[in-house]
Structure 1
Amino acid sequence: MADDAVSAFLAMLAAERGAAANTLAAYRRDLTGAAEVIGDLVVAGHDDLARLGEAWADLAPATLARKASALRQFYGFCLDEGWRADDPSPALPRPRLRRGLPRILDHHEVAALFALAESDAASGRPEAVRLLALIELLYGSGLRASELVSLPLAAVPRDAPFVAITGKGGQQRLVPVGERARAALARWLAARGGGGRFVFPSPRGGHLTRVRLFQLLRDLALRAGLDPEKVSPHVLRHAFATHLLEGGADLRVLQTLLGHADIATTQIYTHVDAARLVALVNSRHPLGSAPNR
């Protein structure tokens, strides 16, 4: 029953919530791992779930929270399906998480990264032209690494200044592409030649992998004199969001650009320095420059 129940739960997530393949795989791993400790999840009781807390004692709080969340959702599904009359999930551990601020690059670090990428691309080498296009889209449009490497040619209109992105859960959005990124992308499309349905194809078929993209960025950062541990596709996406917000972008607009389902996810970028926010209030609020009475 347990395997069938897990499969039915995952099918529900895919059909009703549009869960992505990576998400479904992670849920399956978490549920299967829990079953290896306590047996059939459908019939497990409070004491069984309490044992998971002991088995998971050495896990990082974020990992523990993810596993517990998967089980809570699974037992909610079991209740809805009538497979259980009770919910044992309150026995699961509830780690306290402190959400860390995203790592970002400052403007000078971004400039150093792009200066080297542009110098490399001036040689006309296809690999260098491709890397410039990749970082232009990461920083200039805020794409996720998975969205970028799997970008199909059909998603890039010839004349329109945007690309059509299919993000997490199959959600689609239009992402603006600035003039710099459009120029870099046009250079790459001319250099890549024909063949393949992806903008960034792999020599072995399919598309460039996220791992390879990560490696290319780390190498570029090292050659640009930056700490390679600070640079990744996600860090450039964070920099895109933070620098837009610093420039006065509306949080709701930023949510749309990033493809966040929940505005709470976007609010993490409001960590921009307090001095700038105070100056913004003083300069823009109707009473900001009014004399004291």
Structure 2
Amino acid sequence: MIINEQQMEILNQVLCSILQNKTISNYHPEYDNKILDNPKLLSLFISSKKVEGCSEKSLKYYTSTIGHLFNEIKKNVVEISTNDLRFYLANYQELKNSSKVTIDNIRRIFSSFFSWLEDENYIVKSPVRRIHKVKSGRQVKEILSDEQIETLRDNCTEIRDLALIELLSSTGMRVGELVRLNITDIDFHERECIVLGKGNCQRIVYFDARTKIHLKKYLESRADSNNALFVSLAKPHTRLTIGAIETRLKKLGIKCNIEKVHPHKFRRTLATLAIDKGMPIEQVQKLLGHMKIDTTLHYAMVNQGNVKIAHRKFIG
């Protein structure tokens, strides 16, 4: 309905009468009760992500990333603007010489946090909405060749390390999944085990006959009573951590003169090999435990060997 000038004048008089001697200001009852305190909101957000099933590693990354933002921008979250975040990201990239991938990861964390604030009605609109994904060139990531894996095997001085390499190579499981495995999780008859992946989702992974042999030899060599599948070599033989495995593989890689040997490289190698040999992408997705097939598709572009062979076959 459109009102005319006379009606507008009457409306103006009524409003002036009602609002006379009144003070108009933004009212936030939560803010008055100090519920909108930044550390409190961060704590509530982390609690919500924990309920959603985020890993402890992810929760620590969320906490440190958002906490650093609060330390740099001395404002309450309701006052943080899009430009504040843009300046922060630009300065962070310049000071830390960070890659575009790192900056986009930070942007995604901010997006998750401020979207949660919006959903919970702490803010009206997320300031990250107008900050678009940071474009970065797709890099060809390295995988381990058959010769390199064989070299790593030959240079293992401990049966535990050999069993560890075999399990990573044949299953493609994440290192976080590996460290949570117990001896009772292994089904040697079916050559499979159940792992707990991201989001507390369970899935079955499979290993080959070679892995079965080395795993059995390793377990037979142990004299401890720890239920963990992989334990430290020294007493009291505690469960191996992610850091311990990463350090061990890194040292082994240096010894073999192989660059960047880490657990995820075995996972990437298995995925690439499966795709190159014609395994349907949906099955590779299931094997790796990816929620989205787009994540699995990244592995299809790792190895260019199949492209080279196809080019020679069909084009010359």
TM-score range, shorter chain: 0.7 to 0.9
- TM-score with structure 1 setting the length: 0.83
Residue 217 of structure 1 pairs with residue 249 of structure 2: yes
Q: Which has the higher contact order (CA 8 A, sep 6+)?
A: 1
C-alpha spacing 1:91/1:179, structure 2 compared with 1 (3 Å): same
C-alpha spacing 1:231/1:40, structure 2 compared with 1 (3 Å): same
Give 1:141 shift: 0.9
CA distance in 1, matches of 2:207, 2:312: 30
Please show how residues 125-204 of structure 1 align to structure 2 within 5 Å. 128-202=158-232, 203-204=235-236
Identify the residue that residue 8 of structure 1 maps to in structure 2.
44
* SS state at 1:230 partner: coil
Identify the residue that residue 291 of structure 1 maps to in structure 2.
none
Identify the residue that residue 21 of structure 1 maps to in structure 2.
56
**Number of corresponding residues:** 269
Give 1:93 shift: 6.9
Which residue of 178, 184, 208 corresponds with 2:240?
A: 208
Query: Which sections of structure 1, spanning at least 5 residues, go unmatched?
Result: 121-127, 283-293
Deviations 1:85-141 (A, max 9, x none): 122114547532223222111222222222344xx4xxxxxxx11011000011111
* SS state at 1:33 partner: helix
Identify the residue that residue 64 of structure 1 maps to in structure 2.
103
Identify the residue that residue 84 of structure 1 maps to in structure 2.
123
Confirm or deny: 8 A CA contact 1:50 1:93 kept in the other structure: no
CA distance in 2, matches of 1:187, 1:96: 48
Residue 36 of structure 1 pairs with residue 71 of structure 2: yes
C-alpha spacing 1:35/1:106, structure 2 compared with 1 (3 Å): same
Confirm or deny: 8 A CA contact 1:14 1:24 kept in the other structure: yes
Give 1:204 shift: 4.7
261-270 or 206-215: bigger deviation: 206-215
Give 1:244 shift: 1.9
- TM-score with structure 2 setting the length: 0.77
User: Match for 1:275: what amino acid?
Assistant: K
Deviations 1:192-219 (A, max 9, x none): 2231121112335641122332232233
Confirm or deny: 8 A CA contact 1:53 1:93 kept in the other structure: no
Query: Which sections of structure 2, spanning at least 5 residues, go unmatched?
Result: 1-36
Which residue of 30, 45, 50 corresponds with 2:86?
A: 50
CA distance in 2, matches of 1:142, 1:194: 27
Identify the residue that residue 102 of structure 1 maps to in structure 2.
141
* SS state at 1:28 partner: helix
Q: What is the root-mean-square deviation in Å for CA atoms of aligned residues?
A: 2.3
Rg larger in structure: 2
Confirm or deny: 8 A CA contact 2:195 2:202 kept in the other structure: yes
